[in-house]
Amino acid sequence: MIKKIWDFLGDIRLSFWLLLAAVGLFFIGMLHSSFDFSYFRAMNEVRIQDWLARELPTRPGANWWLPPLLGALFFLGVNTVICTTNRVIALFRARTRTDYRFMISLFPSIIHALFITVMIGHAVTITAGTWIRIPIAEGAVLRIAPDLPPLSVDRIEDTYFPKGSRIEKRIMQTSVTLAGEDGAKMQLSYLDDIRYGGYRLHLDMVKEKVRFTHRDHHVKASEDGETCNRAEMYRSRERKRESSQKLFLLAIADPGLPVILTAFSLILIIMTWYFVEALRKRGNE
């Protein structure tokens, strides 16, 4: 019985249907998030279990695709693990000696194992990540976590595009100077980040009118004019920030990111190595 279950879960035909189901559910999720962007954008800063516990009962029509998608990805992971295990066992049973060519033959299985590691890293991110958003104002004291010393905001400086250009009244860059309890200064700007106590600190700007849209479970998709284009948030008329433009400090703790980056880098290295050896073998033949 156990062998039948093992063979079923490791069947390549199951891989095909799981991949097809995952693609279909991802496509459905893309449609939902496109038509209701201001609601789903909040998912980027919420653990998946918290989102499902809070949003699935209140808006099942918008979130029904998430549980089957997570299930399809889970069983795809199980399927990949079993397929990889079966292949490695077969290779070791058939080998005549342990040499360089045998090691190269193991590379596809190693890549599959690293792919599983990437999936595990993503699972860690969406279940154990932390996203903290704190409004920024000059003179404010920011406390990211109870066990970390607070940071004070010394200065906020906006840099505009050169005068005479067609976008001269738009903000080119915003820099925030933070100071720790020991007086050490840290400079933070857009498209850059700094490390602080296990967190990565980022600058973000949010329009107040869309800040809490995701809390309103009765907003219809047709009434939601927001898209993923956020250029309007960074406009500044008369060379000053609009009152609706709120500057935030976004502190992110992502325990899955090192796992993802390490495994993905190894995949690229091993795949390059494998294809170079394959080309060399073909040239020798």
What is residue 218's predicted lDDT score, i.e. its pLDDT?
38
Choice among 23-27, 122-126, 220-224 with the minimum mean pLDDT: 220-224
More confident site: 221 or 241: 241
Residue 241: pLDDT band (50, 70, 90) is low
Least confident span in 61-65, 237-241, 264-268: 237-241
Average pLDDT over residues 129-136: 90
Burial class (CB in 10 A: 0-12, 13-18, 19+), 163: exposed
* CA-based end-to-end distance of the chain: 46
Instruction: Give 67's pLDDT tier (boundaries 50, 70, 90).
Output: very high
Q: In this structure, which amino acid lies at residue 114?
A: L
**What is the reported pLDDT for 242?**
56
Q: State percent of the chain over pLDDT 90.
A: 41
Rounded to an integer, what distance in angstroms lies between the CA atom of residue 15 and that of residue 80? 8
pTM of the model: 0.75
The C-alpha atoms of residue 268 and residue 29 are separated, in whole angstroms, by 29
Range list of H helices, the chain: 2-9, 12-35, 37-40, 48-55, 60-63, 66-94, 100-105, 107-128, 208-211, 257-284
Cα–Cα distance between 187 and 179 in angstroms, integer?
Answer: 9
Q: What is the mean pLDDT of residues 125-151?
A: 90
d(CA 89, CA 92): 5
**Residue indicated by tokens 């400090």:** 249
Question: What is the torsional sign of CA 252, 264, 67, 71?
Answer: negative
Q: Could you tell me the pLDDT band of residue 180, with boundaries at 50, 70 and 90?
A: confident
- Residue 166 tokens read as 């067609």
